[in-house]
Amino acid sequence: MALTKIIGAGIGTVTNQFSDSNMSAGSIIQAVDASDNTETTVQNTTFTDTGLTLSITPSSTSSKILVTCTQTIQAWNTSSYATARWRIMRNVGGGSFTAIYEDSSSANGNIFYYDYGGSGINCYTPISYTMIDSPATTSACIYKTQGCQGSNGGNRAVFNGPAAGRIVLMEIAG
């Protein structure tokens, strides 16, 4: 939607033309972003916060939140399999966190490497995921990522390794 500013005498007074409630569906109302370059190493299959977190407060219950997360993940092992899991969590208004994106396999996770020689593997993967969330609230929504090893193998999973992780949240008018 293009915005035009009209300047001139005698056109009357224009107020609140671009308030959040007047934005058409699909318009971006607000955007926030954050990054984190602290490495988080996990050496078990228990999901752990990676340090990447951000909050946004929707202006309407009909708003959607466009969530984009990017992190570098290292999966390492001294044998054939190296697996890692990664998910996006949301908290509404101070309640408990709920997974809004998660892999479907606790064994292989969403990061899976196999060394056919069996002598070990160490790989870094930038992972990026974009989704539209519908929190249906005007309370603060906190988004964060968590990660761990997959149960199929691995010595460790490292998040935000050689590059900072980034999260971007955009409120979209509903």
Give the DSSP per-residue string, the chain.
--------TTS----STTSGGGSPTT-EEEEEEEEE---EEE-SSS-EEEEEEEEE--SSTT-EEEEEEEEEEEEEESSSEEEEEEEEEEEETT---EEEEE-S-TTTBSEEEE-TT-S-EEEEEEEEEEEEE----SS-EEEEEEEEE-TT--SEEEES-SS-EEEEEEEE--
Q: What is the extent of the structural domain holding 152? A: 37-172
Kindly state the percentage of the chain with pLDDT values over 90. Answer: 59
**pTM of the model as a whole:** 0.84
Indicate whether 18 belongs to any domain.
Answer: no
Q: Give yes or no for residue 21 having a pLDDT over 70.
A: no
Indicate whether 145 belongs to any domain.
Answer: yes
Domain total in the chain: 1
Q: What is the mean pLDDT of the segment spanning 5-15?
A: 54
Residue position matching structure tokens 């092992």: 77
Indicate whether 3 belongs to any domain.
Answer: no
**CATH assignment at residue 44:** 2.60.120
Higher-pLDDT residue of 91, 9: 91
Q: What is the mean pLDDT of the segment spanning 56-82?
A: 93
Indicate whether 86 belongs to any domain.
Answer: yes
pLDDT tens profile 97-139? 999 999 888 877 888 888 887 778 888 889 999 999 999 999 9
Indicate whether 30 belongs to any domain.
Answer: no
Indicate whether 151 belongs to any domain.
Answer: yes
Indicate whether 31 belongs to any domain.
Answer: no
Indicate whether 148 belongs to any domain.
Answer: yes
